[in-house]
């Protein structure tokens, strides 16, 4: 366990820092998407410097029970744990919505999304998370927290069951659901569009059998006007399809990462909100902690790939937002 936690800290900080340095050092255009990505880099670095790092230090003292650093450090640890985990998970939801919008309505996305809007959305995300979550922290610290010397440093969620259930639903379950729903919507969109394209080809082939060359030409042009730009034959076809393919890959990897790292905890928390008798075993809590920690390392791999494929391409002239 200590080796794993130290590895999470090392690779989490190194990979996220490398991605952030690459972003600021590279002269690629700074797109609205890249602003969201760099914000996630910063959150991951801050989280790696607090929760996994302090847990890794504690793991080297297995014979000592309780918290090592006192109440004030515990306060900061829990504040970072609450805020950063909420912000990171909800940032994944924003990134999923961003890629879904880019796939479903690329023209509207490129027309409306700007760097200013991305900054406003990030500011709104902080307000959305901090305003409801922050009161939970001082109330726990002043009224409900158990002695850290005996019970270690943790939130006493059972003392505020209603508050905890609402926060869990809004700030943890909801963003995971957003990622899952976004992925399903995009899959259904791709299936529906493919079925429309297959229905176009038989019509043209039937006209060809009758020898009506003029009708073929007219029908082909009419069908082209109805087909989305991403499937029209021509110089822009490859560019549009490549942009959509990259967005879909990002959304897919994001969905897999969120499902593996946050899925078990999200499902368990949702079930516990409806069935109070469900208890969380120590082994399950440890497994969930390991999965959530892995996201700090998996994120930069996805984000670096995203930024490298989301900017101007001189050979094709494509711009991905």
Give CB contacts under 8 A, 24+ apart, made by 103-109. 103/186, 103/189, 103/244, 103/247, 103/248, 103/251, 104/185, 104/186, 104/189, 106/229, 106/230, 106/240, 106/243, 106/244, 107/229, 109/321
Choice between 159 and 63, residue whose per-residue pLDDT is larger: 159
pLDDT for position 117: 92
Residue 55 domain-assigned?
yes
pLDDT for position 92: 94
Residue 223 domain-assigned?
yes
CB of 89 closer than 8 Å to CB of 175: yes
- pTM of this structure: 0.80
Choice between 221 and 165, residue whose per-residue pLDDT is larger: 165
Per-residue confidence band for 248, with pLDDT thresholds at 50, 70 and 90:
confident
Residue 319 domain-assigned?
no
Q: What is the mean pLDDT of residues 251-269?
A: 86
Percentage of the chain exceeding pLDDT 70: 78
Q: What is the mean pLDDT of residues 301-317?
A: 58
pLDDT for position 277: 66
Residue 234 has pLDDT above 60, yes or no: no
Percentage of the chain exceeding pLDDT 90: 21
Q: What is the CA radius of gyration of the chain?
A: 24
CB of 176 closer than 8 Å to CB of 165: no
Counting the structural domains of the chain, the total is 1
**Full domain range(s) for residue 253:** 2-308
> Please, where are the H alpha helices in 227-281?
235-274
Residue 314 has pLDDT above 60, yes or no: no
Hey, which of 17-31, 252-266, 279-293 has the most confident mean pLDDT?
A: 252-266
CA atoms within 13 A on the CB side of 117: 12
Residue 320 domain-assigned?
no
Indicate the average pLDDT of the chain: 79
Residue 300 domain-assigned?
yes
- CATH number of the CATH domain containing 278: 1.20.1070.10
Residue 237 domain-assigned?
yes
For residue 55, which of 131, 119, 3 has the smallest C-alpha distance? Answer: 3
80-91 residue pLDDT tens = 988 999 999 999
106-118 residue pLDDT tens = 899 989 989 899 9
Q: Which two tokens stand for residue 195?
A: 């079925």
Residue 213 has pLDDT above 50, yes or no: no
Residue 317 domain-assigned?
no
Across 85-112, b (16+ Cβ under 10 Å) vs e yields bbbbbbbbbbbbbbbbbbbbebeebeee
Q: What is the mean pLDDT of residues 50-73?
A: 77
Residue 234 domain-assigned?
yes
Residue 217 has pLDDT above 70, yes or no: no
């Amino acid at each position: 366990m200590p080796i794993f936690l130290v590895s999470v800290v090392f690779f989490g900080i190194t990979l996220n820092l490398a991605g952030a340095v690459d972003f600021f050092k590279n002269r690629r255009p700074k797109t609205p998407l890249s602003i969201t990505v760099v914000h996630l880099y910063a959150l991951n670095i801050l989280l790696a410097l607090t929760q996994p790092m302090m847990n890794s230090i504690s793991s080297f003292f297995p014979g000592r029970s309780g918290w090592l650093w006192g109440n004030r450090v515990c306060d900061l640890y829990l504040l970072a744990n609450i805020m950063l985990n909420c912000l990171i998970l909800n940032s994944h939801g924003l990134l999923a919505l961003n890629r879904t919008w880019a796939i479903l309505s690329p023209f509207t996305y490129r027309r409306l999304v700007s760097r200013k809007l991305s900054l406003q959305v990030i500011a709104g995300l902080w307000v959305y998370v901090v305003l409801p979550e922050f009161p939970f922290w001082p109330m726990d610290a002043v009224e409900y927290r158990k002695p850290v010397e005996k019970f270690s440093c943790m939130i006493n969620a059972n003392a505020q069951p209603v508050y905890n259930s609402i926060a869990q639903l809004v700030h943890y379950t909801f963003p995971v659901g957003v990622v899952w729903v976004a992925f399903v919507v995009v899959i259904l969109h791709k299936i529906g569009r493919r079925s429309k394209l297959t229905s176009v080809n038989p019509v043209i082939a039937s006209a060809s059998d009758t020898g009506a060359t003029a009708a073929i030409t007219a029908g082909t042009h009419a069908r082209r006007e109805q087909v989305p730009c991403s499937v029209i034959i021509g110089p822009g076809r490859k560019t549009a399809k490549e942009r959509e393919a990259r967005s879909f890959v990002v959304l897919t990897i994001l969905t897999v990462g969120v499902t593996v790292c946050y899925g078990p905890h999200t499902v368990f928390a949702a079930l516990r909100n409806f069935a109070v008798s469900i208890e969380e075993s120590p082994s399950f809590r440890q497994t969930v902690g390991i999965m959530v920690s892995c996201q700090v390392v998996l994120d930069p791999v996805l984000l670096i790939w995203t930024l490298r494929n989301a900017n101007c391409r001189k050979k094709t002239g494509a711009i991905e937002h």
